Structure 1
């Protein structure tokens, strides 16, 4: 019997592809605290899927749609 387990995290490289940056940039974002992560060990970092989805929602910058009178 094969049990399928849904992974709840991304590697930094997987997260980089999702947000459209290179792996180096994603690692810099993790190091600087700009990207949510869980540090498993000194060399292993994962990005929780739920945290990445929320980060994307929170990072959206909507243009100011107010019309200025001239």
Structure 2
């Protein structure tokens, strides 16, 4: 079985998702533990769905724009 290209994968590892947010590996796992990262648990395996992470980031960006816009 061949491994899919990373661009085709539907999930990130916890460190990959954290790195996108500027977090260290340890900080990424702590964020996942706190529920700050959306995780999918398969047994002991933790994955971060790309769609959920990007939606979370998009929501945060929208909120920061609304707060910055005084109109």
Q: CA RMSD in A?
A: 2.1
Q: Matches of 2:68 and 2:20 in 1, distance apart? A: 26
Larger of the two Rg values belongs to structure: 1
Which consecutive unaligned segments of at least 5 residues does structure 2 have? none
Counterpart position of 1:66:
70
Q: Matches of 2:28 and 2:3 in 1, distance apart? A: 29
* TM-score with structure 2 setting the length: 0.75
Alignment length, in residue pairs? 65
Counterpart position of 1:49:
50
Structure 1 SS opposite 2:59: helix
Q: Matches of 1:4 and 1:26 in 2, distance apart? A: 24
Q: Which runs of 4+ in 1 moved over 4 A?
A: none
Distance 1:4 1:58, change over 3 A: same
Structure whose residues are more often helix by fraction:
2
Which consecutive unaligned segments of at least 5 residues does structure 1 have? none
* TM-score with structure 1 setting the length: 0.76
